[in-house]
Each structure stands twice: as structure tokens, then as C-alpha cells.
Amino acid sequence: MSITASVLILSTDDKIVEEAKLALDGMGETAPRFRLVKESSYLFESLRTQPISLVLIEFTEDPKELIRVVNQVRSASPPTRIAAILRPEGFPENVNESAALIDAMRGGVCDFLRRPLSTSDLSRLISQPSAAGNAGSSSTQTLGRVVSFISNKGGVGKSTLSTNAAVAIARRGQKSVLLIDGSIQMGVGAALLDLHPTATLTDLAREADRLDPTMIRQTAAIHSSGLHLLAAPADAVEAMEIDDLLIARIITLARQTYDVVIVDTFPMFDQVVIAALDLSDRVFVVLENVLPTLLGGAKLLSVLERIGYPAERQSIILNRQQRVTGSLSVDDVAERLQREIDHVLPFDKRVMAAANCGVPIATATVRLSGFSRALERLTDDVLGRTDSAAPRVEQAEPPLVAQREGQVPAEYPSTRGTADLPSNPLE
């Protein structure tokens, strides 16, 4: 959705459009563009797609509704200033006007406008410095980095990679990291970490009016690595309480208190996933070298481009790569996608065994395998580091021909099953 306005007006009264147009026309060439939205959901969609300098919100019959929207705007876009438009007919008799105005100011409203809107009032508001320019504003803080892991289908290892990358960052001990299990229909983040959270994203949805960075930290489950996890809902019924607006608010608040926020998404291109992408600094697309998966992956890359998420902000991951007869090579995959492959993670049965035990492979003390080295480079990319060595194709299993000829190098694990695995899969 393309939004060109720099001033947004939230009101159900169409007449206010003409008032705003006349008032802004009086400002001549300095007049900003503006747009009217009638529902708060459209307001937050606009805030996600383009910076908005000023939001004008008309009081409803219930002043508490304005406070609720103001709090959400401040969470979604801290630099945006908010002014309230007073109702022409005033407040209902059962509402204390003075108390309502004081509560609005405490909530973050910077000014009040009376109708009809005037050129002088709007000009004064627009000429004021933005909230980002106030020395005491919380928006001057450095916001955390947000990345999302996505795929066009389930079962490609997306959740395993996002979880292990999050654990790897936490174990380095330099940055705080939050993993949001945004695969709301069937999230597995808690299982991969062997955690049993007492609260999930659904609990945040039910306390949306009080949502703030402190609540997010209190809701998150803590892993032994130091990683914080916001677990997915318990089931698909609870998942129905999660929408794109909630996810956008959670991510916006989370990046104010965590250095890194990693979102594991559901393999479906819905509004919740799009909301996560809108707020992501980078997206990691996870694929396998299986032709049907690659064909779907190519369509996914095309959709990302069409919704305005350019290739420069994407990293392509080829997961579970094997050099066996009949499989596609990395070059084959790159040619079919018409894209360079940024990360190649080899097939390693220890990763599957670790996932079954709820012990992320990133917690292994010995990092000599091809998978571990590739995971380290992926972790650097998640952190936004550009000084890592170029990705190499790590070979976890020898070519099938070599196996047939009995030429399996000693450092490769057996591929005949899992009976030969040690009791601790990470040993």
C-alpha cells in the first residue's frame, strides 16, 4: 500500500477533509500532503509503510479510545507528533472535559485543535520540531536490529535456523536478543529450546491496552543461553487473537529494549507476516535444493519485490545441502533463482538429533563441523556484519559415489541411521 501523506487524520467525519484542504492550501508551497483514515488499523498500516510527521486524531465520545490510539502510535512510531481534534459538539455530559484533556496530554498529545481547522493552527503544529528532535525523547535511543526468517513452505528448517542463530548471538554475550515465534499457527520455538513458557503472544494480545517494553520482557521466557523467547500461541484457536497490528506493536516495542529481534514467521504470506517484514531490517529466505521448493521460492522472491522489499535487504539461505547424485548444486540453485546464494548450510544429522532433544546445535562447545562454521557466518549476517568471509559450500556428507566405493573419510558421520549417535548429540 503506497502512502504519500506526511500528515494523517483519523476521523469518521468526511467534512474534515475539506476543512484540512482549505487550511493547508493557505500555507502555499510549504503545505504538506495529508490523508484521512477512518479506522485505526489503516492508520497503523500507514505508519509502518512511511514516516509520518504529524497525526491528528479526533476525540470520540469515549476519550479513553483516543488515549488507547495515542499509546499505540507512540509505540509504532516514536518520532511522530500527535495532536487531538476537539469535537464540534463538545464532550458528552458524563465526561469531565478538563480531565479528558489532561489525560490526553499525559498520554502524549502535544496540542489540541478546534474545528473548523485553521491555517494558523496547522502551520504552527507543522513548523514545530518533531519528537525525534527533543533531547529528552525516548526516540533518540538506538533501536535494535530486526530480522525475519521466512519460507514458502514448512519443513525446510526455517525455525531451526532462526532459533540457532538467536542462541548463537545470545551465547556471545555482547547483545540482548529476543526471538519472536511468529509462526502463530504452529510455532515450535519453545520445543526447540526445551522451554515451557507460562505466557505466549496471546497473553500480550489480551493485555494490548497495557503493552509496553517492560511487559514484553516480563512475558518472554528465558533460555539458559540468555536468549528471550516470546512463544507462539498454544493452538490455532488462540492464534486467531493475533493480528498484524499486535505484531507490529510488539516488534516496535521490542526493538526499544533488545539489541536484536529475530522473528520466525509462519510459511504463509498473510498480514501478520507482512507486518513483520515492514519492520525488518533484513529478511532471510530459507530454501532447500529440491525443485518444487525452489519453484515456490522463486515466486516468494518475486512477491517480496512486488511489495517493496528489495533484493538488497534479503539473504538467501540454502539449507540441508547435500552433494549426492541427482541433487541440485549450489550453482544450479543460483541459476534457477537468478540470485546469488548468501548462505549454504550442509545437511548434518546432528542438527536433527539436537532439535529432537530440545538442545540447539548452537550450544555445542565444539564448532568444527561444516554446519557450525556456516551457522557462525549466518549469525554474523543476522547481526549486520559485513566483514565476514564469503560463504563457502561446506560438505557434511561425501558424494554418494565415494560412499559406494568405501572411500568415506573418517571425519564424516555414518549416514546409515541414528543408532551410532552419542547419547549427547552435541558431543
Task: Give the whole-number percent of the chain exceeding pLDDT 90.
Answer: 39
CATH number at residue 11: 3.40.50.2300
**In 10 A of CB 237, how many CB atoms?**
9
Q: Mean pLDDT throughout 254-276? A: 90
Q: Mean pLDDT throughout 295-316? A: 90
Whether residue 154 is found in the same domain as residue 97: no
Tell me which of 374 and 46 has the higher pLDDT.
Answer: 374
Query: What is the model's pLDDT at position 141?
Result: 55
Whether residue 158 is found in the same domain as residue 240: yes
Domain count along the chain? 2
pLDDT exceeds cutoff 70 at 261: yes
Tell me which of 137 and 393 has the higher pLDDT.
Answer: 393
**How far, rounded to the nearest angstrom, does the alpha carbon of residue 101 sit from its chain's CA centroid?**
35
- Report which of 394, 289, 381 is spatially closest to residue 337, judged by C-alpha positions: 289
pLDDT exceeds cutoff 50 at 3: no
Whether residue 247 is found in the same domain as residue 390: yes
**In 10 A of CB 218, how many CB atoms?**
9
Q: Which helix (H) or strand (E) holds 48?
A: helix 40-49
| Tens of pLDDT, residues 361-389 | 998 755 657 889 999 999 999 999 865 44
Query: What is the model's pLDDT at position 161?
Result: 96
Query: What is the model's pLDDT at position 71?
Result: 86
Whether residue 225 is found in the same domain as residue 348: yes
pLDDT exceeds cutoff 90 at 41: no
Q: Mean pLDDT throughout 127-150? A: 65
- Report which of 147, 148, 182, 166 is spatially closest to residue 226, judged by C-alpha positions: 166
Whether residue 99 is found in the same domain as residue 197: no
Whether residue 230 is found in the same domain as residue 324: yes
Query: What is the model's pLDDT at position 245?
Result: 78
The C-alpha cell of 260 is what? 536484536
Whether residue 232 is found in the same domain as residue 170: yes
| Tens of pLDDT, residues 174-200 | 999 999 999 998 899 999 999 999 999
CA gap 411, 370 in Å, rounded:
11
Query: Confidence band (pLDDT; 50, 70, 90) for 346?
Result: very high
Query: What is the model's pLDDT at position 136?
Result: 39
On whether the CB atoms of residues 85 and 59 are closer than 8 A, the answer is yes
How many residues appear in the chain? Answer: 427
Query: Confidence band (pLDDT; 50, 70, 90) for 399?
Result: very low
On whether the CB atoms of residues 377 and 390 are closer than 8 A, the answer is no
On whether the CB atoms of residues 294 and 316 are closer than 8 A, the answer is no
On whether the CB atoms of residues 52 and 5 are closer than 8 A, the answer is yes
Whether residue 117 is found in the same domain as residue 170: no
Computed over every residue of the chain, the mean pLDDT equals 82
| Tens of pLDDT, residues 95-113 | 888 788 888 888 888 888 8
CA gap 250, 180 in Å, rounded:
9
pLDDT exceeds cutoff 90 at 418: no
Is pTM beyond 0.75? Reply is no
**CA-CA distances (angstroms) from residue 10 to 35, 59, 118, 362?**
9, 9, 17, 47
CA gap 117, 18 in Å, rounded:
9
- Report which of 208, 234, 231, 207 is spatially closest to residue 221, judged by C-alpha positions: 231
Is residue 139 domain-resident? no
CATH number at residue 231: 3.40.50.300
pLDDT exceeds cutoff 70 at 44: yes
Domain span holding position 150? 145-404
